[in-house]
C-alpha cells in the first residue's frame, strides 16, 4: 500500500502522470487480448477498454449449450484477466519511470 511519501511523490509528478495516463488512455482501446477455451472451440477477444470485441464459436460447440456457456465464461475471464494484468503492468511502468510506487487496483 502506498505511504504518505508515495502520495507526496505522486503529487509532485502530477503533470507527468497526467500525460502518461492520457497516452495510456489513448493506447488501451487499440489493444486486444484473446483467450481460447475448449481446445479451440471458443475464442474470445476483448479490448484494453474492457469491451468484448469478438466471440468465435466452433460449430461442434453449439450442441452442448451448458458446456458452451462454461467455456465461454472461462475464455472471457481469461481474456479480461490478461487485459487487467497488462494495464497494471503499464501503470507500474509509469510509476517506476517516475520513481513512484503505484498501488495495484
Give the mean model confidence (pLDDT) for residues 21-27.
82
- Residue-level pLDDT at 17: 72
Residue 42 CA to residue 57 CA, distance in Å, equals: 5
Give the mean model confidence (pLDDT) for residues 12-17.
73
Any idea which residue has 484477466 for its cell? 81
* Residue-averaged pLDDT of the chain: 84
Q: Which residues pair with 33 in a beta bridge?
A: 46
| pTM score | 0.69
How many residues are there in the chain?
A: 105
Report which DSSP code applies to 2: -
How many Cα atoms occupy the beta-carbon half-sphere of 77 within 13 Å? 7
- Residue-level pLDDT at 77: 95
- Domains recognised in the chain with CATH numbers: 4-98 (3.30.1310.10)
Q: Which residues pair with 42 in a beta bridge?
A: 37, 57
User: For the chain, how far is it from start to end, CA to CA, in angstroms?
Assistant: 11
Report whether pLDDT(28) > 60. Answer: yes
Number of H helices, E strands in the chain: 3, 3
From the list 87, 104, 77, the residue with the least C-alpha distance to 49 is 87
Amino acid at each position: 500500500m502506498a505511504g504518505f511519501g508515495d502520495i507526496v511523490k505522486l503529487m509532485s509528478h502530477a503533470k507527468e502522470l497526467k500525460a502518461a495516463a492520457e497516452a495510456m488512455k489513448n493506447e488501451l482501446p487499440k489493444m486486444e487480448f484473446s483467450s481460447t477455451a475448449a481446445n479451440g472451440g471458443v475464442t474470445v477477444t476483448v479490448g484494453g477498454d474492457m469491451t468484448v470485441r469478438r466471440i468465435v464459436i466452433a460449430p461442434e460447440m453449439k450442441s452442448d449449450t451448458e458446456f458452451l456457456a462454461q467455456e465461454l465464461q472461462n475464455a472471457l475471464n481469461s481474456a479480461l484477466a490478461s487485459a487487467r494484468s497488462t494495464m497494471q503492468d503499464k501503470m507500474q511502468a509509469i510509476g517506476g519511470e517516475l520513481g513512484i510506487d503505484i498501488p495495484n487496483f
